[in-house]
Amino acid sequence: MTTTSLIVRAATRILVGLLLVFSFYMLLRGHNEPGGGFIGGLVGATGFILYAIAHGCRAAREALRVEPQSIAMVGLGIALLAGVMAYLFGDAPFTGQWLFLWPDPAAGDKGVPLSNILIFDVGVYLVVLGSVLTLVLTLEEEV
């Protein structure tokens, strides 16, 4: 399902990049603002689907470099590892573990938060991205 429309092709060139950047942005802001891994993954998938519509599924697969179903599996593995990480700190699985970098108590700044929660969300992101692309690309190639 490729389109010959010049407008779509030209717009795709800019839009795909923007969509992917936006999907990361959605993923990272998720903890405090609307967003998160699920939404980010959907936006990312939309980017690749747009690319597939404009340039064909083969091109989209080449741009992905990895099979989408592998992306989904890796995402599932990352999410599991993020959950199991809590064991290392003696907690129940999927308990949040936080690390604050460069805190500045004087200024009331807790520092840059890092946690396994973010890793888990990255896993969710990859699962959604990979699964949706698996479905759409396979279905489109089928037609």
Partner 1 sequence: MAESSGRTLGGPAGWISILIPAGLFLWFAQFIPAVAAGEVLLWRFNWVPSLGVSVGMLLDGLSLTFALLITGIGALVTLYSASYLGGHTHYTRFVCYLLAFMAGMLGLVLSDNLLALFVFWEITTISSYLLIGFNADEEKSRRNALQALLVTGTGGLAFLAGIVLIGTAAGTFELSEIEGSLVDHALYLPIFWLVILGAFTKSAQVPFHFWLPNAMAAPTPVSAYLHSATMVKGGVYLLARMNPTLGGSDIWFWTLVIFGGVTAVFASLLAIRQTDIKQVLAYTTLMALGTLVMFIGVGTEAAILGAMTFLLVHSLYKAALFLMIGVVDHGTGTREATVLRGLWRKMPVTMVAAMLAAASMAGLPPLFGFIGKEFLYKASLEGPALFWVTGCAFAASALMFACAGVVAWRPFTGKLAKTPVEAHEGPVAMLAGPLLLAALGLGLGLAPNYAEPLVGPATTAVLGAPYAVDLYLFKEVNVAFILSLLTFAAGLALYAWHVRLRTALAHFKPRFDPGWDGLMGAVAAGSKGLTRTIQTGQLRRYIFVTFASLAVVVGYAIWRGGLALEIPEMQELRAKHWSVLIFIMAGALLTAFTNSRMTAVAALGVVGVGVALIFIMFGAPDVAITQLLVEVLQVVLVAVAMLKLPQLNTERVNRLRAWDLALSIAIGAMITVVLLAVMQAPLDLRLTEFFEATSAPIAFGRNIVNVILVDFRALDTFGEIAVVVIAALGAFALLRGTKGERS
Residues that bind partner 1 (CB under 8 A): 1, 30-39, 42-43, 45-46, 49, 69, 72-73, 75-76, 79-80, 83, 93-94, 96, 98, 113, 115, 117, 120-121, 123-124, 127-128, 130-132, 134-136, 138-140, 142-143
Tell me how far, at minimum, the Cβ of 98 lies from partner 1, in Å.
6
Q: Would you call 80 helix, strand, or coil by DSSP? A: helix
Tell me how far, at minimum, the Cβ of 106 lies from partner 1, in Å.
20
Tell me how far, at minimum, the Cβ of 6 lies from partner 1, in Å.
21
Residue 118: both structure tokens together? 């973010």
Q: Which is nearer to partner 1, 61 or 134 (CB)?
A: 134
Going by the DSSP 8-state scheme, the letter that residue 88 receives in this structure is: H
Residue in 26, 16, 53 with CA at minimum distance from that of residue 136 = 53
Going by the DSSP 8-state scheme, the letter that residue 97 receives in this structure is: -
Q: Which is nearer to partner 1, 9 or 97 (CB)?
A: 97
Cα distance between residue 37 and residue 81, in whole Å: 16
Dihedral of CA 117/119/124/125: which sign? positive
Tell me how far, at minimum, the Cβ of 125 lies from partner 1, in Å.
10
